[in-house]
Amino acid sequence: MNLIKPKKLEKGDTIGLLSVSGNVSDIESINRAERYFNSLGYKTFISDTTYKTCRYNAGTDSDRLKALHDFFLNDYINAIVCTCGGYGVLRIIKNVNYDIIKNNPKIFCGYSDITNLLLMIYKRTGLITFHSPMASGDFGLENISKFTEDSFLNALTINDEKTFYADEYGQILKSGKAQGILWGGNLATISSMVGLDFIPNEKFIFFVEDINESAYKIDRMLTQLFNVKNFSDNIAGIAVGIFSGVDNIDFVQEVIKEFAEKYQIPACNGFKISHEYDKFTLPIGLKCIFSADEKSIQIQETPFIG
């Protein structure tokens, strides 16, 4: 695949705050996020879908699809940070005009339900995307996580953080080292895409997280993915994030360890990839080296042009 790399975020650039999934329940959080980015020297532009509601979505499917296309077409916007997840991207994913995105590449950020877009944009265009915090639940907090802030700004502006380490509680589930592109996100969202052409045709290090899912459901979703030939053939390692609110985390670790043993791939948990307060910003699609023994993900190239 021919990679497309966006331009690095510079002071004075405009960050578009895009609502393309669930409806925004706390508008004041968007106002706080806007003030936060303005305080750092960035301009902001908020999508009109942020103020719309259609059932549980930020406007109708056509509203959200148009907002996505408009943000990529708008030369005034240099980077896109989604406002929140929830549910809704899957409803529009097959109608996205990926030529618009390919011809107007820019930083695109989000997690949770936005995982659908992160992975499909990479698959269909080659554009590096970013699994990152979002406007409402992260930058719209009254007290923003310093860890989250530093990782985000480093990833999009400085880009000198090349290695991501598991925390002190990280455990080796299957020893070893592997290479591939960094790829993954929210498990429930990824498993919902089975049936679409979204899995890389190259070796990848799978990073994964989720929230409020039972252990048996996590087992089922992982099994569903490993039953897809392209997934089981190309997965080279598993970097396990945080499964918040799970009923039995020991069962989850056992299941992941079983898959790692079956497919003979390294696995390690403890990475700050999650719905929690502290989270990494990770580039999707870049070559990396994953070491379960060193509990690390080492990025091998820059995500930006120039």
Dist CA 119 CA 207 (whole Å): 12
Question: Which residues are CB-neighbours of 146 under 8 A, at least 6 positions away?
Answer: none
The structure tokens listed for 9 are 């975020």
Among 19, 136, 275, 296, the active-site one is 275
Which of 21, 209, 213, 296 does the annotation list as catalytic? Answer: 209
> Among the options 19, 112, 274, 291, which is catalytic?
112
Report DSSP state, residue 51.
G
- CA dihedral of 60, 63, 69, 70, whole degrees rounded to 10: -160
Please give the distance of CA 189 from its chain centroid, rounded to a whole number.
Answer: 11
Quote the tokens at residue 241. 């994030």
275 is catalytic: yes
69 is catalytic: no
DSSP class of residue 168 equals T
Give the containing element (helix H, strand E) for 219: helix 215-226
Q: Specify whether 112 is catalytic.
A: yes
Catalytic machinery residues: 112, 209, 275
